[in-house]
Amino acid sequence: MDNKIQNENTFTNTENTYPTNVSNPFETPKIMPLNTRTSANRLYGGYSNSYTKNSVINYPDLINALNSAFVNQNDSVHLYYAINDSICRKFNLNFSALGIFNHNSNYINIKLVDKTGTTYNSKVMLNDDDNVIVKSFKTKQAIITADSEYLKLSYLNSSPTFIIPLLAFGECFGVMIFADNNNDLFELYKLTANYFAVFHKNRELIDLVDKNTDTDSLTGLSNHKKLQEDLSGELAHCFDNNKELAFCIIDIANISEINSELGHAKGDQVIKESAKKIKKNVRNTDILGRYGGDEIAVIMPDTTLDEAKYVCEYLLYSLSCTMFDDLGQLKFSCGISMYPTSANRQDKLTLLAEQALYIAKGRKNKTGQSAIVSTQDYNFWDDEALKCYADVLTKNIGASNAALNLEEELINKFHNEKITSTEHLLDVVSSLSSTIDAKDTYTKGHSAAVSRYSEALARRINLPSEEVERIKLGALLHDIGKIGIPEHVLRKPTALTPDEWEIMKQHPSIGADKVLKPNKSLHDLIPMVKYHHEHIDGSGYPYGLKGEEIPLSARIVAVADAFHALISDRPYRKGLSFNKACEILKMGAGVQWDKELIREFIIIAPSLATNI
């Protein structure tokens, strides 16, 4: 059995034949369903794939539920969730998944919902010909597998699956997956996938028509496409004439709650009236457009930041005076970015305005008052600002041709950052280390712990205070090179293959040469980042240094790094006890780690235990 695939060639194109052991649901109106299974731990699963014929499925009710889903949903993602509710929860399936092909990046985006309602997202590269999802997509054939290991989701219990290609007008644009081993339901899954494919393709055609018009049908303002065209033209004019420009996004609070509680008609009324009020109160030279569902943007050519804030304050005041039945007074948030002060590229200008808007929304939620925030009002490396920036980039992935990779964006910003003080340097370094911990979820908090241990060891051996501070910062960034390691390697829950290990071993060089080296303010930290995996006996990496060839600062960080790794939980093992970790350090003294540093660290380790 190749890759645990069963009957790979049994299912053919949806226009052709299917296995004879699959019954037609419309020939037999009622069939026996999956057995009602005991509830499972939400985190670790514990699902059963057994069936018991103790109840029946009412097909008319099921078809009515599916029909309602197709009629009432406006986009493919929400339709998928409705299908999951109609089929998967009714049949108690372990999970379902939707995969849509992304033409620009050549991969299939997978969105999976398990029986607990937990959502997983992953990507499958189209050049991965061994993956059964890719095989189903390329051959346009349904495939049944014995398990779901090909999804590589460690906390998802394995199940037999049906992988059904999504076909419309002869084109395959994705797959739909159902975790089930009951062949009797195949025709139902195929029917659902085929109708979903037609819906998705029709939705694309509608969106294409909408893109070819310039006016938003609800507000009468420019739509997003026309707004971006207007912004491009105004930026070119400002560049030619050395003028400033303000780009503002105004968000209407709680539209999603209004839609949910009072209906979309009420939400549309709020958006429409808000747009009318903004249009009435902007200046003649300002340009309006609908930026998103509940967001209206204002382009302010030849405008300073102070002028932009004044206009936005007046707009928010005018909006706050508008009263709606059943809603009372609404609150609004506004984010402002400036050309060329904030950014001189259009994509970055809009991203930074969104970041400022996210921060403004956070402040509004805390104070209950409308808020205006510009890109000049906060420190980019502040935790709140950095989180908002990551959220904006995540939201925009796939929606723009701009390079929206968080790691790349952070490194570019980092390289251009002018360090003005020790406190500023600490803010920047802390933010970068937090990014690594967020990317490598298995070692969350690792960088801060290693920094704390390294600082304590450096003080123990009486290094000068300036050297202690340098080691503290260097230890905080010792794993910064992991920013360039692919997530499938970084987050792999099992042992790495030799090839994957070679990739992982590159992170000291990536951190030193590609992250720290371009910023002269951080050259003193390079030795700790570059050499903290070298061993006293020369068996380490990346350069095989030995003994005192390894800088003292790197030897200190190596000890702290090893100790925290030993006592920390990993997906494949529990963290070791304090005493066991110390025993391992002693065994490696003089071989992997500096013998004298181990002796000093063992002495101070108990005092660090309360912080472990």
Residues lower than pLDDT 70 in the chain: 1-57, 154-155, 210-212, 393-409, 434-444, 571-572, 609-612
Spatial distance between the Cα atoms of 270 and 31, rounded to a whole number of angstroms: 48
For the purposes of burial, counting CB atoms within 10 Å of the CB of 263, is it exposed (0-12), middle (13-18) or buried (19 or more)? exposed
| Element containing residue 81 per DSSP (H, E) | helix 76-83
Residue ranges of domains in the chain, CATH in brackets: 2-209 (3.30.450.40), 224-398 (3.30.70.270), 413-611 (1.10.3210.10)
pLDDT at 569: 75
pLDDT at 143: 93
E strands present in 146-281: 161-168, 171-179, 245-252
Contact at 8 Å (CB) between 478 and 529?
A: yes
pLDDT at 360: 92
Short-list 340, 318, 241, 246, CA closest to 287:
246
Contact at 8 Å (CB) between 316 and 250?
A: yes
Spatial distance between the Cα atoms of 347 and 359, rounded to a whole number of angstroms: 19
pLDDT at 149: 86
Helix and strand element counts for the chain (H, E): 22, 14
- Cβ within 8 Å of residue 223, ≥6 positions away: 210, 213, 214, 215, 216, 289, 290
pLDDT at 409: 67
pLDDT at 608: 81
What is the residue-wise DSSP string for 234-255? HHHHHHHHT--EEEEEEEETTH
Spatial distance between the Cα atoms of 377 and 355, rounded to a whole number of angstroms: 12
pLDDT at 437: 61
What is the residue-wise DSSP string for 6-54? ESTTTS--TTS---TTSPPTTTSS----PPPPPP-BTTTB---------
Residue 523 DSSP symbol: G
The Cβ of residue 376 has, within 10 Å, a number of other Cβ atoms equal to: 13
